[in-house]
Amino acid sequence: TVDVGNAAGEEQAVPFRAVIIPNPSGQGQGAQLWIDTESYQALYLKVFDVNGRLLSEEAFHGTPGRTVRDLPPVLALGVYSVVITDAGGGLLALKWVIL
C-alpha cells in the first residue's frame, strides 16, 4: 500500500501503486499507466489538463499484480494530471509531461 491523501485531504493508505511509462513522453507517442494492485478492485482513471478540464475518464477493474492502461495519445504539449481513485475514496494523482 501507499500512503497518500484522499479527496478530503486526509492521509490514508491506498492499495495500489501507479507509474506513467514513459514520462515525459513525446507528442503523439502516447504512454501507458502501470497500476500495481494487491487484489481485484474497481478503479477510476481521469486525465485533466493544466486548467483542470477533464479530458478523459474511464472505469475499469484492477487485477492482482499489474494492470496496464493506455493514456490518450492525442494531447498537446504540456503538463497533465492523471488521477486514479478507488471505490473506498483512495486517490493517487500523477503528473504527466508531454514534450
- d(Cα 2, Cα 16) in Å, to the nearest integer? 7
Q: How confident is the model at residue 90 (pLDDT cuts 50, 70, 90)?
A: confident
**CB neighbour class for 81 (10 Å; exposed up to 12, middle 13-18, buried from 19):** middle
Query: Under DSSP, is residue 81 helix (H, G, I), strand (E, B) or coil?
Result: strand
User: If you average pLDDT over every residue of the chain, what do you get?
Assistant: 86
More confident residue, 1 or 10: 10
Question: Tens digits of per-residue pLDDT, 11-30?
Answer: 556 778 999 999 999 988 88
pLDDT of residue 80: 95
